């Protein structure tokens, strides 16, 4: 949540925002990219994270002009909204220049022919024939723009006309309302028409609420607040899979911000905004309910609104409210049960400190075991354990038997600085740092809830041998 600068109601009503529909999904979906029109490019696929930011998910360091690259997306990220980023060179001596394209991935393998210079132009970017989601999104966007064009003209007229009592003005209101209702009906029919598609859930964000045209600007804002959620279906869990839900809620909070003429009024109105929105979401899917509580928690915390934090208490304690924290803890506790002897260790794909790509599956070693260690230099228990583990592992017979992959979950500047200083003492180990810490993909894949965590893996089969909790348990496991 953030208080946005005051904008016109026109922008709020006619902006485009999106969400999705789900279907049965395969284990993985592939994205094949045919690069053209540039000398070379780095290709990065960014996925939406829990905090509604796009973060690097997959990366291909270099793709030459005319070459093809293939990226695999696992089902736990699907369906999803992604950003495809190109850092391209027009010629070999050029400095890389960025361009980005938003794409939707659901249950269909995608093939894309693209020139990064014009990646958002239809004549320079093409999906394979029969591609469904992105083609439907493009078609809907075109039709939606045409549908809203006349509404925009009428809205401008009604907001700027100087005689609100004239017959001409009242005819304008009548015409606007008829067109608004027709438009909302069109949205509803389009959603039914495209209900088998992932992107069909985009349309509820486009709903246009009614406006009290005869009143003041304050009256109009209050009316928009009262009817803001009229077209929303909170029963769809895939609402939380889109960055646009966050933007849509920012617009809602901004309406309250326009009414907040003093700090005291802000501190009373924003808690009201939270309670109203959460109560609406509470009647829908528990995931959406939890997302809404998360959204206002972040907003009240960052804007220091104690009254807002207080209204969240009963929701945070509601077992039906699936906040991201509660969900992640439950998922990892359940996942820990799968990290048992004999199961295949999850792969690890991360960037090393020098920017090179590290892939656990390609790690070569003559040792019998690989010890994956999750730790933090800011964790006293971790440092205490490492101070015992390192000298033991450096013994000649143990050094030959065990290769150590130490993954830091340090995030803050002081932690990172402490980690870098500690590396001087831990020579011979393979060191990586997960920039997102406990929220990183690698920590999630290994179901890490707190550090330190050790996973002993057979170097040849890449199967888990043991998950020791102490150095003594590790010693026993390698005997």
pLDDT in tens, 57-101: 889 999 999 999 999 998 888 998 999 999 999 999 999 999 999
Predicted confidence (pLDDT) at residue 118 exceeds the cutoff of 60: yes
What is the average per-residue pLDDT within 221-231? 93
150's CB contacts (< 8 A; 6+ apart) are: 179
- Residue 134 sits at φ, ψ, to 5 deg, of -70, -30
Predicted confidence (pLDDT) at residue 475 exceeds the cutoff of 90: yes
Residue 343 — very low, low, confident or very high, per pLDDT cuts 50/70/90?
A: very high
Of residues 241 and 439, the one with the higher pLDDT is 241
Distance CA 113, CA 104 (A): 16
- 321-330, 405-414, 454-463: which range is least confident on average? 321-330
Instruction: State the average pLDDT for the chain.
Output: 88
Sheet holding 453-458, edge to edge: 430-433, 402-408, 369-375, 453-458, 464-466
How confident is the model at residue 288, as a pLDDT? Answer: 94
Predicted confidence (pLDDT) at residue 382 exceeds the cutoff of 60: yes
Longest dimension (CA), the chain: 95
Residue 7 — very low, low, confident or very high, per pLDDT cuts 50/70/90?
A: very low
Classify the phi-psi angles of 55: left when phi > 0, otherwise alpha if psi is within -120 to 50, otherwise beta: beta
How confident is the model at residue 215, as a pLDDT? Answer: 78
Distance CA 358, CA 370 (A): 15
Predicted confidence (pLDDT) at residue 243 exceeds the cutoff of 80: yes
How confident is the model at residue 306, as a pLDDT? Answer: 82
Residue 25 — very low, low, confident or very high, per pLDDT cuts 50/70/90?
A: low
- 149-153, 277-281, 284-288, 427-431: which range is least confident on average? 149-153
Predicted confidence (pLDDT) at residue 4 exceeds the cutoff of 70: no
C-alpha closest to that of 454 among 395, 360, 372? 372
At residue 89, the 3 state secondary structure works out as strand
DSSP states of 142-191:
HHHHHHHHHHHHHHHHHHH-S-TTSHHHHHHHHHHHHHHHHHHHHHHHHH
Q: Which residue has the tokens 């009817």?
A: 227
How confident is the model at residue 21, as a pLDDT? Answer: 38
CA 133 distance to own-chain centroid: 19
3-state secondary structure 324-352: HHHHHHHHHHHHHCCCCCCCECCCCEEEC
Distance CA 371, CA 393 (A): 10
Question: What are the chain's domains?
Answer: 9-15+134-327 (no CATH), 28-129 (2.60.40.180), 338-478 (3.40.30.10)
* Share of residues in the chain with pLDDT > 70 (%): 94
pLDDT in tens, 406-457: 999 998 888 899 999 999 999 999 999 998 888 889 998 999 888 899 999 9
Q: pTM for this one? A: 0.68
What is the average per-residue pLDDT within 104-110? 94
Residue 17 — very low, low, confident or very high, per pLDDT cuts 50/70/90?
A: very low
Residue 15 — very low, low, confident or very high, per pLDDT cuts 50/70/90?
A: very low
Q: Which residues pair with 374 in a beta bridge?
A: 407, 453
């Amino acid at each position: 949540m953030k208080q946005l600068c005051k904008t016109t109601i026109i922008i709020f009503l006619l902006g485009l925002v999106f969400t999705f529909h789900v279907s049965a999904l395969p284990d993985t979906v592939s994205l094949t990219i045919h690069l053209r029109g540039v000398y070379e490019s780095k290709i990065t696929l960014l996925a939406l994270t829990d905090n509604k930011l796009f973060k690097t998910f997959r990366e291909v360091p270099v793709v030459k002009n005319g070459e093809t690259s293939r990226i695999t997306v696992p089902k736990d990220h699907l369906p999803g909204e992604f950003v495809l980023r190109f850092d391209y060179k027009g010629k070999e001596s050029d400095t890389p220049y960025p361009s980005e394209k938003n794409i939707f991935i659901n249950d269909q393998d995608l093939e894309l022919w693209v020139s990064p210079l014009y990646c958002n132009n239809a004549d320079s970017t093409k999906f394979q024939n029969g591609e469904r989601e992105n083609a439907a999104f493009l078609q809907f966007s075109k039709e939606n723009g045409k549908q809203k064009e006349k509404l925009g003209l009428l809205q401008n007229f009604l907001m700027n006309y100087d005689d609100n009592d004239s017959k001409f003005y009242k005819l304008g209101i009548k015409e606007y309302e008829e067109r608004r209702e027709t438009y909302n009906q069109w949205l509803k029919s389009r959603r039914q028409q495209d209900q088998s598609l992932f992107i069909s859930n985009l349309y509820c964000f486009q709903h246009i609420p009614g406006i009290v045209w005869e009143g003041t600007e304050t009256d109009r804002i209050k009316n928009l607040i009262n009817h803001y959620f009229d077209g929303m279906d909170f029963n769809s869990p895939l609402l939380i899979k889109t960055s646009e839900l966050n933007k849509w809620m920012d617009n809602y909070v901004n309406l309250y911000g326009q009414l907040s003429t003093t700090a005291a009024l802000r501190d009373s109105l924003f808690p009201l905004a939270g309670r109203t929105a959460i109560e609406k979401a509470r009647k829908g899917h528990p995931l959406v309910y939890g997302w809404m509580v998360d959204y206002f928690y972040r907003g009240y915390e960052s804007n220091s609104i104690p009254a807002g934090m207080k209204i969240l208490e009963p929701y945070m304690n509601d077992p039906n409210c699936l906040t991201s924290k509660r969900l992640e803890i439950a998922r990892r506790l359940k996942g820990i049960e799968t990290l048992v002897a004999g199961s295949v260790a999850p792969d690890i794909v991360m960037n090393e400190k020098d920017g090179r790509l590290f892939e656990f599956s390609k790690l070569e070693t003559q040792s019998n075991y690989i010890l994956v260690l999750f730790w933090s230099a800011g964790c006293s228990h971790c440092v205490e354990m490492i101070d015992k583990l390192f000298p033991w592992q450096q013994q000649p017979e143990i050094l030959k038997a065990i290769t150590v992959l130490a993954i830091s979950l340090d995030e803050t500047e002081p932690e990172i600085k402490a980690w870098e200083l500690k590396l001087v003492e831990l020579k011979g180990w393979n060191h990586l740092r997960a920039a997102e810490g406990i929220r990183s993909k690698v920590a999630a894949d290994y179901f890490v809830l707190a550090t330190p965590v050790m996973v002993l893996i057979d170097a040849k089969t890449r199967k888990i041998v043991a998950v020791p909790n102490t150095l003594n348990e590790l010693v026993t496991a390698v005997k």
